Chain A
Amino acid sequence: MKKRALIPILYIAFLMLPIYWLVAMSFKTTNEILSGFSLFPQTFTLENYRVIFTDPTWYWGYINSILYVSINTVISVCVALPAAYAFSRYRFLGDKQLFFWLLTNRMAPAAVFALPFFQLYSAVGLFDTHLAVALAHCLFNIPLAVWILEGFMGGVPKELDETAYVDGYSFPRFFVTIFLPTIKAGVGVAAFFCFMFSWVELLLAKTLTAVQAKPIAATMTKTASSAGYELGLLAAAGTLTIIPGAIVIYFVRNYIAKGFALGRV
């Protein structure tokens, strides 16, 4: 029993090492970083974080990222809900083909779409807005949300719907007051995955923004290349990008594994 526990422990240690290094680096001074190897920060400094929290180009990066990720999560889940309901409850012309087509959009390499996306969103006048990134991320998040929600809804017996109609509920009222609370775990899981994939994606976000809606991760790349070798600053910015994900994952920890298992291929 004890011996078996060694495998997850080793694996988690392997996962934590690079993260530790990033965090350790963020507390070091540039001098210390460049002067050579040290396992722990010798002169512990918060200077890197101070720079990020006082420079608007830095902290606006965070606000921008959180804004478009939130907009995307709300849009994706809201439009996916009725669609997932339709897929889980009804048969209609072309349902299977539609479902498969939706999933194929996860297969399209983002690199392929970068340029056409730029042109498309420039043409409709949304370039460099939060909405542009939020809408673009719908490409891969909506199919995922539909997939996850459909799995959860499939697990709710149809009798629930019928009972509600017999009791005189209208469809919208049934959906909001009865059905949604029943599948709230599924909504949580779907929202989590939308948040996650929108948060980590950068190629499209970078392509569709210039100044106003520039994501934090893009600010980082720019700093890394233009301002030379500011590793400490880069590490501090990187560390800060881990925190929102960690918070979100803590809240849905009990549902993550389940959310995956219930989806159908």
Chain B
Amino acid sequence: MKTQNQKAWFFVLPVLVLVAFNALIPMMTVVNYSVQETFGDNLFFWEGLGWFEQILRSDRFHAALGRQFMFTGLILLIEIPLGVIIALSMPRSGFWVSICLVTMALPMLIPWNVVGAMWNIFTLPDIGLLGYLMNTTLGINYDMTQSPFAAWATIITMDVWHWTSLVVLLSYAGLVSIPDAYYQAAKIDGASPWKVFRYVQLPKMKQVLTIAILLRFMDSFNIYTEPFVLTGGGPGNSTTLLSIDLVKIALGQFDLGPAAAMSLIYFAITLLVSWLFYTLMTKDDQK
């Protein structure tokens, strides 16, 4: 049982100050922008909720949001099952575990724009390994700068490459925490491998999978650098995800008001989906 102690606030204070400095002040700035119109020279006019209305009605926002949900949905559909399957087939102990963990974690430790650049080099049609294989060896016409499908396939593959390991590590952590007795009991009870997965492994992985899905949702919903370096949002607007669009508006066109309003809507969506998902996943445990 935890003890009630209001002095604990002193322990939390440094964290609070640092995070608040970084979170609240910029957030206030964004809120401030979102309700004003500027024509430069630090002249601002009260705009009310006008920007929000405009953003919420704009086709451009709907399109970017649609692409964003498609992207996040696709990578979750691929990375979660794939990560679980890989974790299930990994060795449980011994020398190879370290090798697996270190090599698998490697992509996550590469700066995001290097990831983008690396995939760029990898997929160049004439001199990239993948591009060359596709175009010359397999005879499939593959060029990200021309075909939206190729661009989509590439950013999805890149994200799978970049982040599936996170799901693997988490699932693996969940798996190794299951005591041997559970497997032995299931064996004695005559459970098939599928039933062992369904009734022993999956329930024990539920908590870490919840974390995995949440993290992957948040991070993929905020993804910017990698697709920006790789495709720049193109061809056309086909891979312009929310963040890329946002930066285009804010820094490209310097429309701070709409960009700020869009940021807040965007943030609200992330928060809402995360909260809904979290509540749903932990509903059973609250009893």
Contacts and interface: CB of A to CB of B under 8 A. Distances in A.
Instruction: Please determine if A and B sit in direct contact within the complex, based on CB atoms under 8 angstroms apart.
Output: yes
Contacts of A142: 15, 18-19
A16 B23 contact: no
Interface in B183-227: 207-208, 210-211, 214-215, 218, 221-222, 224-225
A114 interface: yes
Interface in A111-126: 111-117, 119-120
Contacts of B174: 261
Contacts of B229: 221
A12 to B, nearest CB: 5
A15 B118 contact: no
Contacts of A109: 221-222, 224, 242-243, 246, 263, 266-267, 270
Contact of B109 (A22, A79, A245): A245
A231 interface: yes
A226 to B, nearest CB: 15
A5 B89 contact: yes
A110 B12 contact: no
B52 to A, nearest CB: 15
Nearest to A7: B89
A67 B199 CA distance: 48
A135 B23 CA distance: 11
Given A18-B118, A109-B266, A217-B113, A253 B26 contact: no
Contact of A36 (B98, B108, B126): B126
B23 A139 contact: yes
Interface SS of B by simple majority = helix
A260 B109 CA distance: 16
B90 to A, nearest CB: 5
B91 interface: yes
B287 interface: no
Contact of A37 (B85, B100, B104, B132): B132
B43 interface: no
A50 interface: no
B29 interface: yes
A246 interface: yes
B224 A110 contact: yes
A187 interface: no
B19 A105 contact: yes
B12 A18 contact: no
A265 B207 CA distance: 8
B224 A111 contact: yes
A116 B106 contact: no
Contacts of B267: 107-109, 112
Interface stretch (A41-49, A51-59, A177-185, A195-203): A195-203
Interface string B224-241: 110001000000000000
Contacts of A91: 2-5
Centre residue among A19, A22, A116 by max chain B CB count within 10 A:
A116
A74 to B, nearest CB: 13
B65 interface: no
A21 B225 CA distance: 20
B229 to A, nearest CB: 7
B232 to A, nearest CB: 11
Nearest to A234: B117
B42 to A, nearest CB: 12
A257 B132 contact: no
A261 B29 contact: no
A263 B103 CA distance: 23
A168 B86 CA distance: 50
B112 A201 contact: yes
Contacts of B224: 109-111, 203
Nearest to A81: B11
Contacts of B263: 109, 111-112
Interface string A132-164: 000110110011001000000000000000000
A257 B19 contact: no
Interface of A: 4-8, 11-12, 14-22, 25, 33-34, 36-37, 39, 75, 79-80, 82-83, 85-87, 89-93, 95, 98, 102, 104-117, 119-120, 135-136, 138-139, 142-143, 146, 196, 199-203, 216-218, 220-221, 224, 231, 234-235, 238, 241-242, 244-246, 248-250, 253-254, 256-261, 263, 265
9 contacts: A36-B127, A83-B12, A92-B6, A98-B16, A108-B222, A217-B112, A257-B101, A258-B173, A265-B282
Interface of B: 2-9, 11-12, 14-16, 18-19, 21-23, 25-27, 29-30, 85-86, 89-91, 98, 100-114, 117-119, 121-122, 126-130, 132, 136, 161, 164-165, 168-170, 172-174, 176-177, 207-208, 210-211, 214-215, 218, 221-222, 224-225, 229, 242-244, 246-247, 250-251, 256, 259, 263, 266-267, 270-271, 274, 278, 282
